[in-house]
Structure 1
Amino acid sequence: MCGRYTLLAEEAEILREFGIGQPIKGYEPRYNIAPGQKVLSVIHDGQQKRAGYMKWGLVPRWADDPKIGYKMINARSETAHEKPSFKTLMSRKRCLVIADSFYEWKKTKSGKQPVRISPKGKSLFAFAGLWDRWEKEGEDLFTCTILTQEANDFMQPIHDRMPVILTEQSQDHWIEPVKWSPDEASGFIQQLSTQDLEGYEVSEYVSSAKNEGEECIKPIT
């Protein structure tokens, strides 16, 4: 799964890396981004790529209660094309969720140990995401979910799932303004090779979503 991550890059680096032509309204670096909070996402509107914030936790447009989003922070990439909540989004509402590392908790004899993980040699990357717009009684929400896949060799000792991390070459293709069939979108994700990852253990300070700051990423010595 993917339940916590960081984005510490300068705004200018993000604009340059992802080819965004407009400033990011309200951008701020974050050490401990959690479900239910705003996440920086990129879509293609048919004319250009746009970066902005969505709420993490998908609320499908047909949902009665937006609280459903807390149960839909992740979507399994192997089955998303079959599920009512994600099927149409795989066709036409694909997004990038921008990050520079993510956290996962490894089970140990003494409890759960948080680990900060990132692709080797990369300061910025994108999770494959899906998004939707929910409207009801004057409330208007843009929300998203992060696709996950089976863990690769690096992740298996830590957790059996991991987020889908797009290669630089696949990022634009994932969000291109072309309607795919759900099967085509699924096939695209399944043929991607997983990234080489690296990581280090950090303090349990990060385990509380209320905590923010450099202490979250400080290595355990």
Structure 2
Amino acid sequence: MGKLAESRYACRMCGRFVQSITWRELHELLAGLTGAPVELKPRYNLAPGQDAAVIRAGAEGPRLDLLHWGLIPPWARDPATAFKLINARVETAAEKPSFRNSWRARRCLIPANGYYEWTSAGGIRQPWLIRRLDEAPLFLAGLWENWRITEPASLHGQFAGRQAGEQIETFTILTTAANEDVEAINHRMPVLLHPHQFESWLTDAPATPATTQPGQLSTQTVDVRVNDPRNDDPDCLLPSLSLL
């Protein structure tokens, strides 16, 4: 832990994650997803600005949909806002203009097989894979929102070609103070929910989720190829050969 203790946080938020779970596995874990099965492409280095599988409350129970990572508030004129709102602090989300409406009525779960954080030392940005000790899926608390396109001529990148009036569904991941498992790597971590919390988080009156207790997460350095989001394959999960 010597060199790790001397390192500096290289990322202030949850900015990449692994989502290799299948719809069928989620259907079993949640005791039944509603809606048609969704073919999920395994993602090993999912980055902001991309689509991810998100679980929301449906009329007949939880359902899974693909949403854009990076919340765009309904009042935003520029979709570039999404790249600034990939995370929301759970301590203040209920009051922030960008998140307070979602906090009251549009909460979600983001299934993940792990997430990445970074430390930096000696000019090297070292990625870490954080996941459950038993490698079971994590469920991250999130908020989602609808954004209606009003000025299609200003759109570019992944939104290019969209038409006026179209709606884009987006989400953000809630973060909280890091627990003992990960605090040496980053002072923040995603809000992680347990199965007994799923229904109340999705459907009941909003309340701040309980902090995840330490002793449940593992941390492992992985290869620096994770630093490039274009690398998105199982090799991203391989341990690095050395520890900073």
Aligned-residue offset at 1:6: 0.4
State the SS of the aligned residue for 1:81. coil
**Residue aligning to 1:142:** 169
- The answer to whether the 8 A contact 1:104-1:116 is kept is yes
Return the TM-score normalized by structure 2: 0.82
**Residue aligning to 1:193:** 212
Superposition pairs of residues 57-68 of structure 1, within 5 angstroms: 57-68=70-81
Which string of whole-angstrom CA distances, capped at 9 and with x for unpartnered residues, describes residues 15-61 of structure 1? 21123144443411111100000010011123221101000000111
**Residue aligning to 2:26:** 14
State the SS of the aligned residue for 1:16. helix
1:5 to 12, 17, 40: 17
List runs of 5+ in structure 1 lacking aligned partners: none
State the SS of the aligned residue for 2:197. helix
- Equivalenced residues, count: 213
Aligned-residue offset at 1:109: 3.3
Aligned-residue offset at 1:124: 1.2
Superposition pairs of residues 67-82 of structure 1, within 5 angstroms: 67-82=80-95
Question: Identity over aligned residues, as a percent?
Answer: 34
Structure 2 distance, partners of 1:130, 1:17, is 21
2:44 to 25, 31, 56: 31
Return the TM-score normalized by structure 1: 0.90
Aligned-residue offset at 1:123: 1.8
Which string of whole-angstrom CA distances, capped at 9 and with x for unpartnered residues, describes residues 82-133 of structure 1? 1011111111100001111001002233522111111222421210000011
Structure 1 distance, partners of 2:236, 2:36, is 27
- For the structure 1 residues 100 and 23, does the alpha-carbon distance in structure 2 shift closer, same or farther, using more than 3 Å as the test? farther
**Bigger radius of gyration:** 2
Worse overlay, 63-72 or 107-116: 107-116
Q: Is residue 239 of structure 2 the alignment partner of residue 219 of structure 1?
A: yes
List runs of 5+ in structure 2 lacking aligned partners: 1-12, 150-163
Q: Is residue 121 of structure 2 the alignment partner of residue 108 of structure 1?
A: yes
Which string of whole-angstrom CA distances, capped at 9 and with x for unpartnered residues, describes residues 121-158 of structure 1? 24212100000111122231000000001111121110
Structure 1 distance, partners of 2:220, 2:202, is 31
Superposition pairs of residues 35-184 of structure 1, within 5 angstroms: 35-136=48-149, 137-176=164-203, 178=204, 180=205
Structure 2 distance, partners of 1:125, 1:220, is 22
Structure 1 distance, partners of 2:180, 2:123, is 23
Structure 1 distance, partners of 2:22, 2:181, is 28
Structure 2 distance, partners of 1:165, 1:21, is 23
Please, what is the CA RMSD of the aligned residues? 1.5
Q: Is residue 227 of structure 2 the alignment partner of residue 207 of structure 1?
A: yes
Worse overlay, 8-17 or 144-153: 8-17
State the SS of the aligned residue for 2:208. helix
Structure 2 distance, partners of 1:91, 1:23, is 27
Q: Which amino acid aligns with 1:128?
A: A
Worse overlay, 68-77 or 100-109: 100-109
